[in-house]
Structure formats: C-alpha cells, structure tokens
Amino acid sequence: MVTDHADDNELLRLAGARKSFRLPESGTVTPLDGVNLSIKKNEFLTLLGPSGCGKTTLLRTIAGFEDLDEGEVYLEGRAMSTVPAHRRPFNTVFQNYALFPHMTVAGNIRYGLEISRVSKMERAERVSDAIRLVSLDGLERRKPSQLSGGQQQRVALARALVNRPRVLLLDEPLSALDRKLRQSTQLELKNLQHTVGITFLFVTHDQEEALTMSDRIAVMDRGRILQLGTPVEIYDRPASRFVADFIGTSNILTGRLAKGRHGSVVQIDGGPEIHIRGQRHANGSIVDVVLRPEHLNLEKIEQDISGHLDATLENIVFVGSDMHLHARLKNGTPIIALHRHSRGAVGIGLAPGQTIKLYYEASAPHLMESDGS
C-alpha cells in the first residue's frame, strides 16, 4: 500500500479500511470491508448505496466518530486515526441537522468559531458571510424550533461551512425535505460547492440525487465500493449487475457471447439474439447485457447494425412525460421500454396483449461479465 499521495490533486485517501463488530443477536456485521478511495480537491463526491451498505459508516470514520479495525485515513498524506474527531479539519451536516435548541441561529453558526477562539471581529464577519451565503438573512435571532425544515438545513450548512473545513461531510441532509424542496436544494448545494470550492462528500441512497449533483459517484454495497466514476460513466457503463440495477432502471439479460467479423451476438437462453458492436470480452463467455428502457424504441432505427426484441405487451403505465411499456419476452423475461409521450396510449395504437417489436442500436447494449445471478 502506497502511503504517499499519488497526485497533487488528491485530498483525502482511504486505504484498506475495514471495520466489523459483533451484535448480540445478528452475529458479525462488517460495514466496511476493505475500502480504498481517493478523494480529490474541490470535487463533489457522492457515496451511494442502499441502507446498510456502509456509506454512513465510511462518512463517520472520516469525521472521526468511528474507529477502524484495519486501514487508515490520510489527509494529504497525514494519517488521521490518532486525531480525535474534534480536532479534524472536517465538518458535518447531520441528517437531523442537530441544531443546538438552546442557541439562536447566529449562536449555532458562531459555535465552531468560538471554540477555535477566532477573534470577535473576524467571527462577526464570517458569521454574516455564512448567513448571506445560504440566504438566511434576517433570521439570526430565531431559535431552531422557530424555523422550517429547509431553513434548519441551511443553518446546519452555514454552521459547518463557516469553519472553512477541508472537506464538508453531508449525511443524507435532504432526506427530510419534501420532493420539490429537495430538487431545488440539490441545485443550490451543487452551486454552493462551486462557489465555496471545498470538497463535498455526500451520502445518499437516492440514485437520482447522486446523478444530479455529483462530479463522481462511489456506488457501495455491503461494505465495498463497487464502482467509482462520473455519473455518465456509472449510468452508461455499470460495472456489475448490482450497479446496473441500482442506478436507473435496467433490463438485464444473460447469455453467451459469440464474436463475429461484422459484429457480435449474445445468445440469450431460450430467447432472442442481441446484436452488439465489438466487445473485449472473450468469445464464448457468459455475459450480462444491459439495455436501458430508453434504448428500446417502437420505431425501427435506420442504422447499419441494429436489432430488435419480440415481446408481448402486458401493461402501459403513463407517468406524464413518458410512458412505460411493460412487456415480456418469449422466454418469460420481463422487459421495460420507455416511450416519449406525445399523444396518449390511444395515439400509439397499442393495447395490452399485443405483440410488439422493440428496436435498439447496436451501440446501446452494455456488456458486463456475468456474476452468475
């Protein structure tokens, strides 16, 4: 394990982080099972995964609230595990905001500066800057109980950012907000990160949120990072079935790859042949084919290599901007296709029970090595 940071752009690194503990009734739990992660300066990195995957434990390990059994956290090359939480240059925005109820908004924001004994003048200036940054002007004297959920969240943000941490840790801070507020806050947070220029480490189980806000996403499951990449990379080229399933909707078909001179074909068990462009996987290997619903069209595409799937339509679900077509292949595998809505279901002249052809471009299917599920 190399302990020096690999490049100047790296800010934080986790090396071989491992943590497990024994619960009286559930046996051994391993929230971190060998995690290696390199976090850059001035980036918005999201830890994404289902509950129990270890993302919150990872965040808390960095913050200093959890011990590691093995491995280390490095800040610009300096090991952090001997440094207690209150001395680490990170700040956290907690899921329930954790605003001090017996202090005002200004008191809450001031707290960190008082602890580090910043001078009174500088304190006042930084506090008012922070309040302006999150648009809380006029609410300085209020107590947390007198604020709305959105306002409380902004106080939590200001309270953390006013200390100019090296990394801002955010533990599912938007989960308590209603949908519309969530979406507007997501954009605000992204812009805030650009403005402030600090690395944001964000934890969420909402993949849409992760795709919207992040520069990079680390998808986690059962204590391991399954894939690290930009939102586009994760979406277009998932590395495993889990990632493909977790991000967006996927149709995953398993079959054997047969490479040919003009293109390759994956033979799905008891099902159709999928035509694809050149792939690096070995001839004859078992692969998982990922076809996103938006890749499947009702109209034929005029490309040199393309293919289609024969399926029986079972359900049409109207969701406003799109229609989800739930169908089934001849071998019984369910398929979901997306159709841009211009007219109602009557407009496309389809009804459940009909057989349809779903067309796709040869570049659309994404191949992954099958993990046997």
Partner 1 sequence: MAKWRNASVGAAALNVYGIFFLVFLYSPLVLIFVYSFNANPTNMAIWSGFTFDWYRTLFGMQPAASAFDAAFTESPDRIFQVVRNSLVVALSASFISTVIGTATAIATSRYQFFGKQLYQAVLLLPMIMPDIVLGIALLIFFVGAGLKLGLLTIVIGHCTFLSCYVYVVVTARLVSMDTTLEKASADLGAGPLTTFRRITLPLIMPGVVGGFLLAFIISLDDVVITYFIAGVDTQTLPLFILAMMRRGIRPQINALAVLLIAFSFVVASTGLYLRSKRN
Partner 2 sequence: MSGHRTIERERTRSLALLLSPITLLLGIFFLIPLGITIVYSFLEPGMYGGVVWSFFPYNYGRLFGWPIGGGEEFEPLYIQILFNSLKYAVLTVIISLVLCYPVAFWVSRMTGMVKNLMLFAITLPFFANLLIRIYAWLLLLRPTGTINSALISLGFVDKPLNMMFTEFAVIVGMVYVFIPFMFLPIYASVERLDWSLVQASQDLGASPLQTFRRIILPLTAPGILGGSTIVFIPALGNFIVPSFLGGSKVQLIGNVIERQFLQARNWPFGSTLSTVIMGSVMTIVLLYALGTRSSFSRSARKGAGNG
Query: Which residues contact partner 1 by CB under 8 A?
Result: 63-65, 84-87, 90-92, 94, 96, 98-102, 111-112, 115-116, 159-160, 163
Of 6, 5, 15, 134, the closest CA to residue 76 belongs to 5
Please state, in angstroms and as integers, the Cα–Cα distance from residue 10 to each residue in 36, 106, 281, following that order.
13, 34, 32
CA distance 259 to 284: 8
From the list 75-83, 215-223, 318-326, 350-358, the region that binds partner 2 by CB under 8 A is 75-83
Q: Which of 4, 7, 8, 25 binds partner 2 (CB under 8 A)?
A: 25
116 binds partner 2 (CB under 8 A): no
Nearest residue (CB) to partner 1, 115 versus 258: 115
Question: Smallest gap, in angstroms, from Cβ of residue 88 to partner 2?
Answer: 12
Nearest residue (CB) to partner 1, 85 versus 252: 85
Nearest residue (CB) to partner 2, 69 versus 273: 69
Residue 67, binding choice from partner 2, partner 1, none, Cβ under 5 to 8 Å by partner class? partner 2
Question: Smallest gap, in angstroms, from Cβ of residue 95 to partner 1?
Answer: 8
Three-state SS at 13: strand
Question: Smallest gap, in angstroms, from Cβ of residue 146 to partner 1?
Answer: 15
**Going by DSSP bridges, is the β-strand pair 167-171/90-93 parallel, antiparallel, or unpaired?**
parallel
CA distance 64 to 73: 10
Question: Smallest gap, in angstroms, from Cβ of residue 68 to partner 1?
Answer: 18
Q: Which of 4, 7, 67, 304 binds partner 2 (CB under 8 A)?
A: 67
30 binds partner 2 (CB under 8 A): no
DSSP 126-173: HHHHHHHHTT-TT-TT--GGGS-HHHHHHHHHHHHHTT--SEEEEEST
Residue 152, binding choice from partner 2, partner 1, none, Cβ under 5 to 8 Å by partner class? none
2 with 51: CB under 8 angstroms? no
66 binds partner 2 (CB under 8 A): yes
Please, what sign has the CA dihedral across residues 135, 139, 140, 142?
negative
327 binds partner 2 (CB under 8 A): no
Of 283, 279, 287, the closest CA to residue 372 belongs to 287
Residue 302, binding choice from partner 1, partner 2, none, Cβ under 5 to 8 Å by partner class? none
54 with 227: CB under 8 angstroms? no
Of 249, 242, 251, 292, the closest CA to residue 48 belongs to 242
Question: Smallest gap, in angstroms, from Cβ of residue 124 to partner 1?
Answer: 17
In the chain, the amino acid numbered 361 is: E
Nearest residue (CB) to partner 2, 73 versus 161: 73
Length of the chain measured in residues: 373
**Per the structure block, which two tokens stand in for 339?**
């159709």
Question: Smallest gap, in angstroms, from Cβ of residue 67 to partner 2?
Answer: 5
From the list 74-82, 166-174, 255-263, 275-283, the region that binds partner 2 by CB under 8 A is 74-82
For partner 2, the binding residues (CB under 8 A) are: 23, 25-26, 64-70, 72, 79-82, 84-85
